[in-house]
Amino acid sequence: MLFNSLSFVVFLVIVLALYYSKLFNWTNKKRMLLFASYIFYGLWNPPLVILLWISTMVDWIAGNKLTLEENQRKRKLWLLLSMFVNLGFLVFFKYRDFMLDNFTSVVNSYGYGYKAQPMDIILPMGISFYTFQTMSYTIDMYLKRTERAKTFLDFALYVTFFPQLVAGPIVRAQDLISQFYEEKKATINQFIWGLFLLTIGLFMKVVLADTLLSDTADTVFGSKDMLNGLDAWTGTLAFSGQIFFDFAGYSTCAIGISLMLGIILPDNFRYPYAAIGFSDLWRRWHISLSTWLRDYLYIPLGGNKHGIVRMYAALMITMLLGGLWHGAAWTFVIWGALHGIYLVVERMLKTKIHIKIGPYNGIVLALLTYTLVNFTWVFFRAREFSTAKNMIWSMLFMNTDGEKILYSSDIIKVFSVISILFICHWVMRNTSMKEVSLKTPSWILGVVWAIMFFLIAISQGSGEQFIYFQF
Amino acid sequence: MNLKQSLFIAVALSVISIVSWELYWRSQGKIPDLDDDKNLWAVQRAKVNHASETDVVLLGSSRVLFDIQLNEWEKETGTRPIQLASAGTSPLPMFHDIVNNTDFKGTVLVGVTPGLFFSTTYPEAGPWKRSQNRVDYFEDRTYAQRFNHWLSLPLQKNLVFVSTSEEGWSDDIDLKSLLYAIPSENRTGKPEYPPFKAFAYIEEDRNNPMSEKTATDTAFANSIKAAWKFVIMGNQQPPDRESTTSFFVADAKKFINRGGNLILVRCPSSGWIKQGEDKFLSRTEFWDPLVTATNAKSYYFEDYEQFKNLTCPEWSHLSAPDARYFTTELVKIMKADGTLSNSKSN
C-alpha cells in the first residue's frame, strides 16, 4: 500500500480509530498494529508476507538463543544462521539475476555459449530495509549491545511496523522495541505535528517529486540522443530533486504517521544538499542506512583504528556495498565507488588543507559538494553505462551540438525548484523543522499547510510508487 | 505557536480553496468524468474470465469504443457486451491474451482500424505497447490498486477537480497538465503537438459516447482533426501487413477451433482519414486478405446502405446518435445473418 493512495487514507483512519478506541488494551492494540502491518504489506502481494514471517521467526529464535547461549562458537553459529537467511533472501530475490548475468558473461567470454534461464522473480517490496533491520537486532544481540525483545509480539511489530516497513528509516531495536513496552498515546500536539509531517511528506512526493520533476528526469534519462549540456544538467538536477523529495518524503510520512500513534522514529534526512563535503553528506542523507553501514560494516572492517590504508579500504568497500544495496547493477556499484573516492579524497585533503568554514566559503563548498553529488546521480539513474557516459560528457559541455529535448519551461521549472531546494537546505542546515515552526506564527503555519494540502489535492497523482521501494 | 490554531486555519482554508476550485471548473463547463485508465479496463477484462458462451467481448481501437454503444447492443440482443476496445492500440495483444489466457468461447468482435491493426507486432511500438501494458496491468495489479480504484470511482463520478486522465489530454485540470498548458519557447526544433482535448465521456462499464461538443462545435472537431493529422503525418513507420495478419490469424484459428465466434468489423471513417486509409491501407490489400485468412464473419461499413452516409465529425469516430444508430443496425444485420447465434436473444 502506498502512502499516496486513497486506500492508505482509509487504512490509516481505521487504524487510528481502533488505536485510540477503548476497545483494546495495549497488548491488543499492538496485535492490531501487527495485523494492520501485515494487511498493509499483503495488499501488495499476499504470499510475500511469508518472507516477513520467516525473517521474524529466524531472528526471534536466534536472538533468544544468543541471550541464553554462552558458548562463543554456538553463538557465532546462531548469528551466521540469521545472516544466512536474511542475506540469502536478499541474494535470491535481488541479486540472483545480476549474478547469473555476470556469470554468463564471464563464461561466454571463454567461448562456452552458455544461455542462462532468467527466473523472472518478483522483488519483494522493502526487502533490503526489513532484512537490514532484523539483522541489526541479531548482530546487536550477538555483540550484547541490546536487550532481547520482551515478547514475540514486540519483536514481530518491530520487524513489521507499517510506517517504516518498506522504505525505512531502518530503526535499531533499542530505539523502537523499547517504545512498545508501555502504552503509547500521542499528545494532541504530537498528533497534529504528525499530521503536518504527513502532509509535508506527501507534498514532497506528490507535488515536488512526481508533478514537478519526474517527467523532466525521465525524458532526459530516457533519451538515446547525445544531449545538449543544459538539457543534461536539467535532467540530472531534476533527478537529484526527485530522489530527495521522493525518499525524504516517504521518511517524513513515516515519521509523521508514527508520531500520530505516539511512537517516535529517528530522522532520516537533515538537509543533505547543504552538506559541506561528503562525510557531512552521509551524516545528512539516508542517515539510518549510513549509520547501519558504519556500525555493521565500516567499523568491523577496521574503521579508522588500523591505519590510513585500511581505513581507505574499509571506506571503499563500505561504499561499494552500499551502492550494491541500492540495486543489482554495475551502475549502482559505480555510484558507490564515486562516493567512496570522494570520501577518500576528502579525508586526504583534510590532512593537508585546513579551511575554516564561514558563511561565504561554506555555501561555495556546499554548492561544490552538491555539484559533485550530481555526477554520482547520473550513474544511479541511468540504466545503462552508455546513457551515463553520454550524460557525463554532455554535463561537461563536451557535446557542443547535442540535442535539445526540453522546452524552456521545463528548464525554468527545474532550476527554480532546485534553487529553492538548495537555499532551503542551506538556511535549515543547522536547525530543524520543529525549531523553525516554533518560531513561526500559527496562522502562517496554517496557511502554508493549506497551500500544501491544496496542491496535493489538485495534483491528482496517479499513485506513483516511491523510488526506494525497489531497493 | 499554537498547533491547534494552525490545524483549524489549514482545514478551513483547504475546504474553501478546494470548493472554490471545484466551482471554478464547473463554471468553465467541466463535468465529473471517469478516466478511461488501466484500472477501468482491468475491471472489464476480469469479467471475461467468468464469461459464458452467450457473452460478447468487444476488442479494437477507439472506433469500436466510440461506435459500438452498449445500451443499444443490449437492447437488441439481451446481452451487455464487455467493452475492451482501447484508444490508440492494436487489438492483437488483447485478443492474444483472451485466446491464450482464458477459456472464453463466446463472441469476440474485433474492430479493424487499418492504421492500428496492421501497424506492427514490435513490442516497443506505441500501438502494441499501449495494448500490452493494459494486459500486463490486469495480470499484475495488486489488491491495493483494486481497492484504490474502487474508492476513486465515487469521487470521479461526483467531483470535477479529481478528473484527470492516463491519456494526458490537453484540457486536463490536474496540476501537471495545467503547468504543461503554459505557453513556452520550443527550443527542440521539432514541431509542437497540437492541443488534443478529450472528446468523449466514458461510463463505468466503458460505454463511451462522443461528447456533444465534438459533434456540434466545428472548431472543436477541427482541433481533433489537427491532432489526427499531426499523429498520422508524424508516423514514419510503414504498416506490417504480413506479421500482423499472421499473428492474428494464429490466434483467430485457435479461438474458432475451440468454438469461439469471431466477428471482424470495419467501422466508419470519413474525410482526410478515409482517403488516406483507402490509398495506403486499402481494403483489397489489407482487409480482404485478413478476412480470407481468418475465415471469420466480417462487416465492412461501406457494404451496407444504412452506413454509407454516416459521417464522422472528426473523421474517425461517430457522434453519439450515429453510434447508437450504427450499433442498432449492425446488430440487426448480424442477427439476420445468424452471426450472433450464441447470444441470449437467439
Cβ of B161 and A458 within 8 Å?
A: yes
CA distance B267 to A233: 48
CA distance A310 to B204: 65
| pLDDT at residue B307, rounded to an integer | 93
CA-closest candidate to residue B42, choices B141, B128, B130:
B141
CA distance B18 to B161: 8
CA-closest candidate to residue B267, choices B315, B309, B299:
B299
pLDDT over threshold 50, residue B269: yes
| pLDDT at residue B344, rounded to an integer | 57
Using an 8 Å Cβ cutoff, are B268 and B312 in contact? yes
User: Chain A residue closest to B151 (CA)?
Assistant: A6
The pTM assigned to this predicted structure is: 0.91
Task: Give the tens place of pLDDT for each residue, B308-345.
Answer: 889 999 999 999 999 999 999 999 999 999 888 665 55
Residue found under cell 541500492: A326
Q: Is A1 in CB contact (< 8 Å) with chain B?
A: yes
**Rounded (10°) angle between helices A385-395 and A229-260:** 110
Cβ of A409 and B6 within 8 Å?
A: no
Cβ of B6 and A454 within 8 Å?
A: no
| pLDDT at residue A91, rounded to an integer | 86
Using an 8 Å Cβ cutoff, are B286 and B114 in contact? yes
Q: Is A208 in CB contact (< 8 Å) with chain B?
A: no
Mean pLDDT value across residues B22-45: 94
| pLDDT at residue A400, rounded to an integer | 78
Task: Give the tens place of pLDDT for each residue, A58-69.
Answer: 999 999 999 988
Confidence of residue A468 (pLDDT cuts 50, 70, 90): low
Mean pLDDT value across residues B236-264: 93
| pLDDT at residue A128, rounded to an integer | 87
pLDDT over threshold 60, residue A462: no
CA–CA min distance B61, chain A (Å): 24
Confidence of residue A152 (pLDDT cuts 50, 70, 90): very high
| pLDDT at residue A44, rounded to an integer | 87
Higher pLDDT, A409 or A116: A409
Q: Per mean pLDDT, which of A87-91, A152-156, A309-313 is the most reliable?
A: A152-156
Measuring CA to CA, how many Å separate B191 from each of A413, A439, B188?
21, 51, 8
| pLDDT at residue B346, rounded to an integer | 46
Task: Give the tens place of pLDDT for each residue, A69-104.
Answer: 888 999 999 999 999 999 998 888 888 877 787 878
Those of residues 27-66 in A touching chain B at CB distance below 8 A are 42-46
Task: Give the tens place of pLDDT for each residue, A241-283.
Answer: 999 999 999 999 999 999 999 999 999 999 999 999 999 999 9
SS3 of A288-309: the string is HHHHHHHHHHHCCCCCCCCCHH
Is A425 part of the annotated catalytic residue set? no
A-chain residues near B7 (CB < 8 A): 192, 195-196, 446, 449
A-chain residues near B2 (CB < 8 A): 442
Phi (first) and psi of residue A344, to 5 degrees: -65, -45
Using an 8 Å Cβ cutoff, are B265 and B330 in contact? yes
Using an 8 Å Cβ cutoff, are A219 and A285 in contact? no
Task: Give the tens place of pLDDT for each residue, B182-207.
Answer: 888 888 888 888 999 999 999 999 99
Using an 8 Å Cβ cutoff, are B134 and B41 in contact? yes
Confidence of residue B11 (pLDDT cuts 50, 70, 90): very high
Using an 8 Å Cβ cutoff, are A67 and A145 in contact? no
Identify which of A7, A211, A450 has the shortest CB distance to residue B13: A450
Mean pLDDT of chain A: 90
Mean pLDDT value across residues A200-222: 94
User: Chain A residue closest to B17 (CA)?
Assistant: A454
- Range of weakest confidence among A19-28, A347-356, A362-371, B68-77: A347-356
**Active-site option among A286, A306, A326, A339:** A326
| pLDDT at residue B207, rounded to an integer | 96
Mean pLDDT value across residues B53-57: 94
A-chain residues near B4 (CB < 8 A): 188, 192
A-chain residues near B186 (CB < 8 A): 407-408
Q: Which domains are present in chain B?
A: 38-183+196-337 (3.40.50.1110)
Cβ of B21 and A454 within 8 Å?
A: yes
Confidence of residue A471 (pLDDT cuts 50, 70, 90): low
| pLDDT at residue A469, rounded to an integer | 57
